[in-house]
Amino acid sequence: MVATSTSRKRSHYIYVYIIVHELLEQFCVNILMARKGGNPNIKNHGFEPAGEEPLTKTLSIRVSESTYQEVKSKDNPGEFCRQAIQKALDEDKRKQNDTPST
């Protein structure tokens, strides 16, 4: 009697699993499926770089916790870092150009 009860529970669980799995599959297909043929107006919704040059490379640096928190508190931390790096590079170039060659 115990074996029959256990096998009924198993078959019930399998049946419920199959129904739930099928419902999730249908839901995911309806919600996540891309439009056949793609979006014809994709260029209207694409990413445009803010500056003259596209931002295609990443740069990772290590900083102290206090520096990290201060940078993250800025309105646009990425742009803040880009401007700071560019300012330092421009200053370095200016110093090299001002130094006479020997």
**pLDDT for 1:** 45
**pLDDT for 26:** 65
Pseudo-torsion of CA 45, 49, 50, 56, nearest 10°?
140
CA distance 83 to 52: 14
pTM of the model: 0.50
Amino acid in the structure at residue 50? A
**pLDDT for 66:** 96
- Closest CA relative to residue 88, chosen from 96, 100, 76: 96
pLDDT, averaged per 10 consecutive residues of the chain (102 residues), comes to 61 75 66 64 70 84 95 94 94 89 60
Q: What is the DSSP letter of 41?
A: T
On whether the CB atoms of residues 45 and 39 are closer than 8 A, the answer is: yes
Distance, C-alpha 72 to centroid of its chain: 17
CA distance 102 to 99: 9
On whether the CB atoms of residues 74 and 80 are closer than 8 A, the answer is: yes
**pLDDT for 75:** 95
